[in-house]
Amino acid sequence: MYKLKSVISRSEECDDCNSTRESRMLDIEEGVELKNKNDSLEKISTSSCNFFMGNKDSFIRNGKMEKIKKKHKEEKKIKIIDIINCPLDLHTNFISMILFIIGSTFFLFPKLYVSGCIIFAIACALCLYSNLIGVIRTNEEKKIEYYGYICYVIGCVVFIVGSIYCCFKDDYFAVLTFIIGSFYFLVGALFFIYAIDFNNIKNVNWKIIVVYISNFVGGLLFTIASIMFFYQELYNVACFLYIQGSVLFTLATWLDYLNYLNNSP
């Protein structure tokens, strides 16, 4: 019986040895597979690095990333004092658009209607000054922009007449002056959009495009709202359109500040 037990124990030991060898072989095979995977991952990462760093057609190799970083560095960090030191015509233009918002809001309340007309007239006078400066500063090479400023000037003059007239009467002529003034604003904005070099649109400052589009949409809203003034049931809607158009004009004048400061030496 003792010998039998010893034989059995030895056979069990052999089985244990075999299982240990098998587990070791499996571990070795798994290690080889992991190593092969790691090697393949390293090759992929190396090739991807070579694509971005060494490839002649790579994004960084062409210097596009460097140009973008350089462009961001060149943009000035604008401070409040920089805005204060901007030319007077930029300030008057921005203030006039704020007054447009206030005046348009006053139109909604009958007791504030006359005050709204007065504020509107003051806003148009400030806007007139800014656009007259634009006419004076625009050289002969920029005839399209020159015509745009002329349209703005005419629109401001008509709006001043209409706003003062509305303080005393609210009739067909009053509405007609607002329609004509808005129409000239719209045409002036179209001149500036037409002046954009669409063949070289990628190199045009996006802020300038936003300014021109905002002025166009604002002029369009003013024109539609002015026509609505003929219909009493659409009066409140027309006032809200005037407010929205004034907000877009304000956005455009704010971006004018940024464009001036970024382009100034």
- pLDDT tops 80 at residue 60: no
- What the block records as the tokens of 240 is 């809200």
What was the pLDDT predicted at 200? Answer: 87
Answer whether 259's CB lies under 8 Å from 208's CB: yes
Domain spans, the chain: 2-69, 80-263
123-127, 172-176, 195-199, 224-228: segment of lowest average pLDDT = 195-199
Q: What is the Cα–Cα distance from 225 to 221, expressed in whole angstroms? A: 6
Measured CA to CA, the distance from residue 235 to residue 79 in angstroms comes to: 41
Q: What is the reported pLDDT for 2?
A: 38
pLDDT band at 198 (very low <50, low <70, confident <90, very high): confident
Q: What confidence score (pLDDT) does residue 38 get?
A: 54
Q: d(Cα 248, Cα 99) in Å, to the nearest integer?
A: 13
pLDDT at 239 over 50: yes
CA distance 251 to 96: 12
235 or 61, which is more confident?
Answer: 235
| DSSP assignment of 43-57 | HHHHHHHIIIII-TT
Highest averaged pLDDT of the listed ranges 9-23, 129-143, 171-185: 171-185
For the CA atoms of 173, 176, 182, 183, the dihedral, rounded to the nearest 10 degrees, stands at -140
Per-residue pLDDT, averaged over 125-136, amounts to: 97
**Average pLDDT value for residue range 102-125:** 97
DSSP 8-state symbol, 258: H
pLDDT in tens, 64-107: 555 545 555 555 688 889 999 999 999 999 999 999 999 999 99
Query: Mean pLDDT across the chain, nearest whole number?
Result: 82
For the segment 10-27, the average pLDDT, to the nearest whole number, is 51
